[in-house]
Amino acid sequence: MAACDVRDVAFPTNRAPFVANDMGSTGQPARIACLALALALVRMLQSSRHIPPRMCEAAPGPRACKIHQRGMLMTDTISHHVLDETPLASLQHQGRLLNAVFRGHTNAPRRIGFRGELALRFGPRLADEARPPELSCEQVMAVANVNDPHLSFFAGWLLSFEYLRDVAEVLGNALSARGKYFLFCDNVDLSRRYQVPYNGAVFYVLPIVESTVYNEMLELLHLEKSELKRKDTAGKLDAVADAAILFDLPFDTISYAEGLEAMGPVRNPNENRPV
């Protein structure tokens, strides 16, 4: 069989179908094999442009990840360069933004969002061995605007109220007096809601009733879950953040020390788990 020369093949464009030059009469196996090889090459090159959603974070540099969902083509851009223009950058560089459900541009202009887990404490590290954090703030929802040094909205779940201090210390200068920060704590009385000033910011501290931070925020902000179902992850985050930023319902104000005295016992999360 003659060697296949790709120069004999006209590669497809967006408007032209795939054709082979000078195919001649039928019954030319070499030409047919060359055509099949070229087709396979083109398909391979085209498929290499698509990156599965879960591979986006591993792709080097700014990359747009195209995702088909419900028949619509959406773009979720994850750019570490853009993260560097928000307070999320230092958290990312410290390896604290874990298990991301979403990280990148939202649908609002110049807004960067994150949904996932915020690592609060790390255990001792041996060589290059990666270990899960000893303590985390889970179910985190957060947004920041490009070139704004502060988080405008943050919400998360804590096993105990006492870990509010860890959240405040980890977020540090990313907190501000004008930001809206919500912490749902497992050991806060179900009938109580507090405002806790800490390091220049005010945290809204609430019990966890609706099982997830997302559901709790919808309930608190009077957002209809059915109206958000058709939105993508970025759109849902925008809706919650927009309403949270406008939230101004006053709760009882207590100090962090008073909260420690009022909190209940810390539940063992591993209790009753199968061995």
131 pLDDT band (50/70/90 cuts)?
A: confident
* pLDDT classification of 210: cutoffs 50, 70, 90: confident
Q: pLDDT value at position 125? A: 78
Q: What pLDDT does residue 54 have?
A: 35
Whether the pLDDT of residue 149 is over 50: the answer is yes
- pLDDT band at residue 211 using 50, 70 and 90 as cut-offs: confident
**pLDDT score of 86 more than 80:** yes
The sign of the dihedral angle between the CA atoms of 48, 54, 55, 59 is positive
Residue 257 predicted with pLDDT over 70: yes
* Cβ atoms of residues 106 and 234 within 8 Å: yes
| Percent of the chain topping pLDDT 90 | 61
When computed from its CA atoms, the radius of gyration of the chain, rounded to whole angstroms, is 26
Would you state the pLDDT for residue 123?
86
Predicted pLDDT at 12: 45
- Rounded Cα–Cα distance for residues 43 and 25 (Å): 26
Q: CA dist 119 to 10, 130, 181, Å?
A: 53, 13, 17
Residue with more model confidence, 87 or 43: 87
pLDDT of the residue at 63: 36
Q: Give the mean pLDDT of 231-235.
A: 96
Average pLDDT over all residues of the chain:
80
Residues 6+ apart with CB under 8 A from 177: 200, 201, 202
Bigger pLDDT: 141 or 10?
A: 141
Burial of 9 (0-12, 13-18, 19+ CB in 10 A): buried
Cα(58)–Cα(174) distance, integer angstroms:
26
pLDDT surpassing 60 at residue 184: yes
58 DSSP 8-state letter: G
Any idea which of 9-18, 62-71, 214-223 has the lowest mean pLDDT? 62-71
**Who has greater pLDDT, 264 or 32?**
264
Q: What are the residue boundaries of the structural domains of the chain, listed by start?
A: 6-48, 56-124+131-262
pLDDT at 31 exceeding the cut of 50: yes
pTM of the model: 0.70
Q: What is the average pLDDT across 5-29?
A: 47
DSSP 255: -
The pLDDT score that the predictor gives to residue 168 is 98
Q: How confident is the model at residue 27 (pLDDT cuts 50, 70, 90)?
A: low
**Model confidence at 80: pLDDT above 80:** no
Band of the pLDDT at 264, cuts 50, 70, 90? very high
